[in-house]
Structure 1
Amino acid sequence: MVMKRPKLGVFLFVAFLLAYLLFLKYHYSTSKASNFRPPPHAESKLARAGDDRPVSADGLDFQYGVMFDAGSTGTRVHIFKLQMKSKEPPTVDHETFKAIKPGLSAYADDPEKCAAGIQELLDVAKSSVPPSMWAKTPLVLKATAGLRLLPGEKAKQLLEKVRQIFHESPFLSRDDSVSIMDGTDEGISAWITVNVLIGGLSRADITTVGMLDLGGGSTQITFSPRDEKTIQMSPIDFIRSFQMFDRTHTVYTHSYLGLGLMSARLTILGGSVDPPGGSTELVSPCLPPQYSGRWEHADVVFTVKGQKAGEPVFETCLTRVQKVLYGKIKRVSEVVSMDFYAFSFYYDRAVNLGIIDEKMGGAIRVSDYTDAARRVCSGPSAEPQQNPFLCLDLVYISVLLQEFGFPPHQQLRLARTINQVETSWALGATFNYMETLRGS
């Protein structure tokens, strides 16, 4: 019997298979675990995981900061417990907040009397910060429009009294710990606060938002321009660049001193903080007809009255407010295409109208303020003694927003807190002060 010879292709296949099996055996027998390296994308994740550990200059996981907000209507203390991170903005682990009235400027003629209130708020800070951290916790007071509007010497004496109290406290206090805050810095600090809280300064997938703040003595607008024309066409002092969290930020920002709600209210009523001839009686079309009452502002008690019944309250008040604001606000076209958060009296008046929940906040259109103003001013005066200025305030807010360039349909977000943290300038100012400590 004659055997058939296998075909050449079969021999080649078997030879190749044996060679491949021998190669695999040799390769895995000589490989060692110590030579293993994860793929590049896995290595980057491992490296970033180490960066997320909270660290600080002295190895502590947390840092505390105490910020006093000396506003025109009251003084507030914010105690922040911050989790520090090496390559990211700190996160707020907890905030303690307390407010007292009146504002620091109420003691302009007797600075010694401000001590009790400052000490009361300091006691809150001492009970919120562990004693072992007191000496490492910066203690800062920033005064806003209330003191900016005071004569220089009176403001200086008030600040010196606070500085003395701070130096006697167990916290970290320097000569620059007590100061009057520039209005522009106030706007920038509030912008930092809201964008840190929403993640706009730490996450590439979140766009920063603009900030509107309406205080008692001043009002601010701050946003990060996306249109180069905004930078080119704005006054040079409206554009600011600053370093924060190892990055450079450029913002459009301006503070309008004297256009806060309380200061504007006085101007609209036709009064002044130093009434000529001592006259303190004010009659205004922006008040309910036949209304008569008392209103205190900047330590002056005014008698305020509405005009006779039958006058078109909304239209007359609108004309008055437009005259007060004429030519005072720089309009910016870019705001139409941006998201904005609005704080302080923007928030409070929306609560008064029942448009948002007092605790949860919400959203409001510019036209909502205008429609409410028309309704409140022109409708029957329900309980005018409780809120006689609501008509005036709403007309002012609606005109102010339009002067900034916001169209009637634009929606604003209203928030008193984000992630249980107050949406004021205090957090941003605390971060900024810590940056100066790090650089000194």
Structure 2
Amino acid sequence: METAPRPPPRPRGQGARRGPPSCPGLRGGRGAAAGRRHPGPAPLPVPGAREGAAVGAAPGGVRERRAPLGRRRRFRRSRRCRPGGSQSRARLSRRRRCLRPVPAARGCRRRPRREPPREPGRGEEPRRVWLGARRGRTYCSSVIADPHLTASRSPGKMASSRLPIFLALAFSSLSFVLSHSNRVMWFQDFFPPNMCPINAKANTFYGIMFDAGSTGTRIHIYTFVQKSPENLPELEGEIFESVKPGLSAYADQPEKGAETVKRLLDMAIDAVPPHLWKKTPVVLKATAGLRLLSEEKAQALLLEVREVFEESPFLVPEDSVSIMDGSYEGILAWITVNFLTGQLSGQSQHTVGTLDLGGASTQITFLPRFEETLKEAPGDFLTSFEMFNSTYKLYTHSYLGFGLKAARLAILGALDMEAVDGQMFRSSCLPKQLEAEWHFGGVKYQYGGNKEGETGFKPCYLEVLKVVKGKLHQPNEIRGSSFYAFSYYYDRAVDTNLIDYEQGGVLEVKDFEIKAKEVCDNMEKYNSASPFLCMDLTYITALLKEGFGFRDNTLLQLTKKVNNIETSWTLGATFHLLQSLGLTY
């Protein structure tokens, strides 16, 4: 079989450096025949190039850098990178060595490309070049156009040029934080809450409530968040502080009394963000302390406090400073407890009642479930109010003169009598050998035990019954209900180790009776405690059983805090205030 004759050898020095004939400007190559057998790809249009411009010229007159001559190494590329589908390796090689600056497809993904190892020249700049598309994917490569730009943007020089910018930003941020009036709140001013997409629909608001009691003045700063009108406000936190003595101690110096309120109010200015000051109401409600003062002295104190509020940046309602009614205090305590226990969500009617035993009065409040209770209750014992898009009709009443300290005077027989110097009030609820003085309501009383009479639980209970029995209304519904009890109910249970001071506890009504018997029949054993301990426990037992009509097994939840929030009427008062002012959804 004849074989084709081999072509004559090429003379040395001619065509040693090969390049595709389709690449103008490169010397040598495989000759005209090779160029005809493997024509190079048609030049791609260059955006902005003038008609008749030289092929391979970059836009703006910058010429394309050609591949170095004499490179015999060939580069493989998968089919998906080929512009027209399947191409011969020779065509791809020529394509690779004769790249033209063309616009890359939008959004194309960079793919690594193997280039002949070389050092970048002056004025070279990376360009993105279309290499092909397959199966919906577009690939890009890079060529060198301006070596001057590439050489000037070395990593070391770029980092050194950006360092002063970073230092300037860091210095300005530090200066902003240090110069801010409130370094704790600077972030809220720099990024206001309404810029945060998470809290974009949440309504954040604050409420400031002062409790002006007889022993001290307390401030409660509450933070609430309400995500939508359908949801109840959520209590995010409480800030609490107090000062002593109470406002009533400054009856003759109202300016000094108002100064104590101003010191507490300054703390609220730091706690509430400035952009919410005008939407944050501030209110002071006085309780028993100011009730004991004359009308003239009490009003003088309230006027001074009102002036302090007016000078503050907060929202001051019309009735911002007042003396609170006793029955209103019971309603607010009921709102506080049921909100903290989650009983006010939706249309829930499974609420708990509240029992509050103060010094001069006692309150009972609950939500009746039976029509019989509503019919039998006296007219002034029922109160309706609307809160959280629901209407509640409560059974509530405050019994003035049935507080723990007022009951002591009634048991001693000194409640309706004027104390006379040298007059001794005695009771079988006190130790026989006891003789002492007691100040209450600005009056000094002398009291002692029955030296010749009988002492102990039985005679003491008979004395207490005269004060309690038949004096209070007894709704039948409460016998099987559960109640939260606080104030002196809580204090006397702690004094006798019935509950823990921090945690509180659950007791039955009969637990007070058992402890009263133990204390009253062994008064000598409890000499270090209050001399009124036997009388107080006996009175609580008679008040619950004979006064309100609770059963022995009725459960009482005694606590000072629920979810780490004090069970005070102040929270309920703040809720009611915010809703009445339309600050909630």
Query: What's the TM-score once normalised by structure 1's chain length?
Result: 0.80
Aligned to 1:24: none
SS at match of 1:133: helix
Of 212, 222, 225, the residue aligned with 1:80 is 222
Q: Which has the higher contact order (CA 8 A, sep 6+)?
A: 1
Q: Do 2:429 and 2:460's aligned partners in 1 also have CA atoms closer than 8 Å?
A: yes
Q: Which one of 44, 65, 70 corresponds to residue 207 of structure 2?
A: 65
Root-mean-square deviation (CA, aligned residues, Å) is: 2.6
Partner of 2:538: 395
Aligned amino acid, residue 575 of structure 2: F
Q: Which residue of 1 aligns with 2:549?
A: 405
Supply the AA of the counterpart residue of 1:229. Answer: E
- Alignment correspondent of 2:576: 432
| 1:16-415 aligned within 5 A | 61-85=203-227, 86-203=229-346, 207-272=350-415, 275-277=418-420, 281-308=424-451, 311-402=454-545, 403-415=547-559
Q: 1:304 to 1:256 in 2, by over 3 A?
A: same
SS at match of 1:125: helix
Q: Give the unaligned 5+ runs of structure 2.
A: 1-197
Between 221-230 and 102-111, report the one with greater CA deviation: 102-111
Does the aligned pair in 1 maintain the 2:432–2:455 contact within 8 Å? no
Distance 1:379 1:174 in 2: 54
CA distance in 2, matches of 1:219, 1:202: 28
**Counterpart in 1 of 2:162?**
none
Q: Read off the aligned partner of 2:561 and give its amino acid letter.
A: T
Task: Give 1:95 shift.
Answer: 1.0
Partner deviation per Cα, 1:53-92 (whole Å, 9 max, x = no partner): 868xxx7742111111223443322111111242222111
Other structure's SS at 1:175 match: coil
Post-superposition CA distance 1:396-439 (Å, at most 9, x none): 11111111111111110112111111111111110111122118
| 294-303 vs 353-362, which moves further | 294-303
Q: 1:217 to 1:193 in 2, by over 3 A?
A: same
The 3 A distance-change label for structure 1 pair 379 and 336 is same
Query: After alignment, is 213-222 or 120-129 more displaced?
Result: 120-129
Give the structure with the higher percent helix: 1
Query: 2:107 aligns to what?
Result: none
SS of residue in 1 equivalent to 2:525? coil
2 CA distance for matches of 1:273 and 1:143? 25
Gaps of 5+ in 1: 1-52
Counterpart residue number, 1:37? none
Q: Matches of 2:284 and 2:345 in 1, distance apart?
A: 27
Letter paired with 1:363: V
Which amino acid letter does the alignment assign opposite residue 240 of structure 2? F
Which range moved further: 364-373 or 66-75?
A: 66-75
- C-alpha distance 270-114 of structure 1, shift in aligned 2 (>3 A): farther
Note the C-alpha offset of 1:224. 0.6
In the alignment, the residues of structure 1 paired with residue 507 and residue 306 of structure 2 have an alpha-carbon distance, to the nearest angstrom, of 41
Separation in 2, partners of 1:296, 1:92: 40
Give the letter aligned to residue 262 of structure 1.
K
How far the C-alpha of 1:119 sits from its partner, in A, is 3.1
Q: Identity, % of aligned pairs?
A: 50
User: So what's the TM-score if we normalise by structure 2?
Assistant: 0.61
